Amino acid sequence: MKEKKFVQTKMTPRALLVDPATTLTWNVIFSQNHHLTGNPLYMKVRILLLSFVFASNSYCQFNMPSFEEVATTFFSAYSHESSATYLKFQRKKEGWFVAQDEYANPGHYFNTKLFWSKATGSYNRLDYPPANDEISVKEIIEKYLQQMSWEYEEYQYTRNKYYGYPGWDWDIINEKMDALVTDSVLEGRARAYVNYASGFIAEQFGDIFINNDEDRLPLNASDKISKSRIDKFLKYEVEGINAYTQLMKLNPAFETKVGNIKIKLANEYMFTWLELQMAGDKTNAGIFAGKAEYPDSLLALAKAYLSSAPANSVLITSGDNDTYPLWYLQQIKNIRTDVAVINYNLIGFQRYLHFEDTKSKQRLFATRGTTYLRDGIDYFLFENAVDSGAGLDVDSFIGQLLAGRNPYDTTASRPYKGGTIKTYFAKHLWFEAAGKKSSKIELDRYLLLNEFILLDIMNTMGRGKVAATYRIDLVAPLLKQEGYVYVFDY
């Protein structure tokens, strides 16, 4: 859950995918805050429309064309229309590459070709079909940006010297720094160290680089984290923290995606706390949490959120700055520990979901690990061509979805990431208790895991026991503002 470790997601994180059977666009999508976002899909895509205007000789700070120029140049000359694969632009030492990946089995890039060469300073011809003259380049790029979750990716392409492929972090780590170190270079190195470190415990940034290290092989979300993995995580995470610390000394006014560098550094300590908690190393986790130093203004807001939450409730948060400071207050200051602070983006990330499920003293949601720990559980798909207006109460919806009961689905199976996608037949839902029905909420053509778990939490905990630091779009009609939070009520 960092600005993508949140995000989403770690949730883990990641790129837009399409269900081949329906050309459903989905993504391991990141929130604005990447630490809390992860491999999990933690939020739906927010469309960011950009107008690409560039000069042919425009270069970014890394002495290569900008992402905008490369994308515009590609889509001006070529097209890529496929329900099975998507494109990835990769900035490497040699220049800009164009690669493909499969929606049904993401993370395995192929047909990787050098598009812009740093050696020649020019573009190479590629064997893609010619551009479709009937569609404007701007329209094509806007659609592509939706698929790749540009809100998150823009920052990464801007701040990281190399990016978009497994091992970009390792390449930055191993590149010799110039004698004159700038604040932007330090941020890039810090991000590389942190990204690499996460691969040893709970990879939530996607495209993990194995690097011939058994301790970087992906684990099941319920697998125990070994001491050697924890030690290696700490080695690289501390390097990242040191880089952020050096950056803060060099430029105390430096702004990151989550705010001033001081806030970013405090969040990094709390990210380390979370990773170590999920790894079972509570001792070291407490040490890092104790080093976080937040400005009084952010702590005041965090206290306001906690004080407004109902007793023994679940408080749903969104990004770094409305999550880490709350955890800090609970862990270090022992404030409102009766409240379960859960990040919305991260509950689409299996290891974090398992962590929250097993550490809580009370049952927060009904879905069991046998379901949320299986492969291919990132999202669920709507399938009902007969009755698009079908409705259900949330309790029945959850039960029938998990049991695989969909009389309107005639497809044998939809393979995805080693598993199969479950489908639902009702998009119009309501909560019901003691004979009273809530207002209806409307689902989309797909439901992400974090959205499903949110419905499960609300259904399990009941009215007045679930709050959020912001008005969540999915359940907005059922949220009532009370103090600094929005409480689930009807």
First to last CA, the chain: 30
Tokens of 140: 């094509």
Residue 177 has pLDDT above 80, yes or no: yes
Question: What distance lies between CA 159 and its chain's CA centroid?
Answer: 18
* Phi (first) and psi of residue 173, to 5 degrees: -60, -40
Give the amino acid at 370.
T
Per-residue confidence at 464, pLDDT binned at 50, 70, 90? very high
The reported pLDDT for the residue numbered 403 is 92
* Tens of pLDDT, residues 342-366: 999 999 999 999 999 998 888 999 9
Question: With bands split at pLDDT 50, 70 and 90, how would you rate the model's confidence at 206?
Answer: low
Average pLDDT over residues 97-112: 90
| Averaged pLDDT, 280-305 | 97
pTM over 0.75: yes
Find where tokens 């990242």 sit: 240
- Cα 370 to Cα 224: distance, rounded to the nearest angstrom: 17
Task: Determine the pLDDT at residue 106.
Answer: 82
Q: Per-residue pLDDT averaged across 19-39, rounded?
A: 35
pLDDT number for residue 239? 98
How far is C-alpha 271 from the chain's CA centre?
Answer: 14
The better pLDDT of the pair 243, 417 is held by 243
CA 87 – CA 314 distance, rounded (Å): 39
- For residues 149-153, give the mean pLDDT: 84
Residues linked to residue 448 through DSSP beta bridges, in sequence order: 379
pLDDT of residue 322: 97
CB neighbours of 179 closer than 8 A, spacing ≥ 6? none
Overall average pLDDT of the 127-150 stretch = 89
Q: What is the pLDDT of residue 304?
A: 98
**What is the H or E stretch that residue 446 is in?**
strand 446-448
**pLDDT tops 70 at residue 2:** no
The 10s digit of each residue's pLDDT in 397-413 is: 999 999 999 999 988 88
In the chain, where the domains are located: 48-148, 168-289, 302-488
Query: Residue 415: what pLDDT?
Result: 84
| pLDDT value, residue 35 | 54
